[in-house]
Amino acid sequence: MKNRLFLDTNVMLDLLGEREPFYDSVAKVATLADKGEVILTVSTLSYSTLFYLLSKFEKSEVVKEKLRKFKIIPRTSDLTDKIIEKGLSSNFSDFEDALQYHCALKVDCNILITRNGKDFKESEIPVMTATEYLKSLTSK
């Protein structure tokens, strides 16, 4: 069975913003998804956050094009009223992380990819960086 990976917003930002030293590992994860070897999911919330952050450094049209190209690869998990309620009721210290986590659970992701693992200490699914995930594949 294919791994169902959920990408946190910060990892998406590493990819689309080509942020070093994190870009290479998340690009490899995205390539695995593009080849159909894993299933990637992202929250719909991440698209607006990414647009806001990336457009501080690049023209809006360039950012929209990056988002259009990226959007082909992952599935999306909608931010629903129920997820907002779960996020508000959770023990997560960061509300946005709670929303991301509950979006991942909603679509049965079995691994959450982030650079802020400490923010997901309440997680019931494994949480790792893109680099850790890639290393886990070679240790099997």
Concatenating the DSSP letter of every residue in 8-46 gives -HHHHHHHHTT-TTTHHHHHHHHHHHHTTSSEEEEEHHH
- With pLDDT > 90 as the criterion, what percentage of the chain qualifies? 91
Domain ranges of the chain: 4-138
Taking all residues of the chain, what is their mean pLDDT, rounded to a whole number? 94
Architecture of the structural domain at 4-138: 3-Layer(aba) Sandwich (3.40)
Q: What is the pTM of this model?
A: 0.94
Residue 139 has pLDDT above 80, yes or no: no
- Laid out side by side, the sheet with 75-77 consists of 75-77, 39-43, 4-7, 111-113, 127-128
Backbone φ, ψ for residue 76 (5° rounding): -120, 150
Which 8-state DSSP code applies to residue 115? Answer: S
Mean per-residue pLDDT, 102-117: 95
Mean per-residue pLDDT, 3-24: 96
Q: Say which residues have a Cβ less than 8 Å from residue 82's Cβ, sequence separation at least 6.
A: none
Residue 13 has pLDDT above 80, yes or no: yes
Cβ pair 113, 133 in contact under 8 A: yes
Beta pairing, strands 4-7 & 111-113? parallel
Residue 47 has pLDDT above 80, yes or no: yes
pLDDT reported for residue 83: 96
Please give the structure tokens belonging to residue 114: 């982030």
Mean per-residue pLDDT, 99-127: 94
Mean per-residue pLDDT, 11-21: 95
Residue 122 has pLDDT above 90, yes or no: no
pLDDT band at 140 (very low <50, low <70, confident <90, very high): low
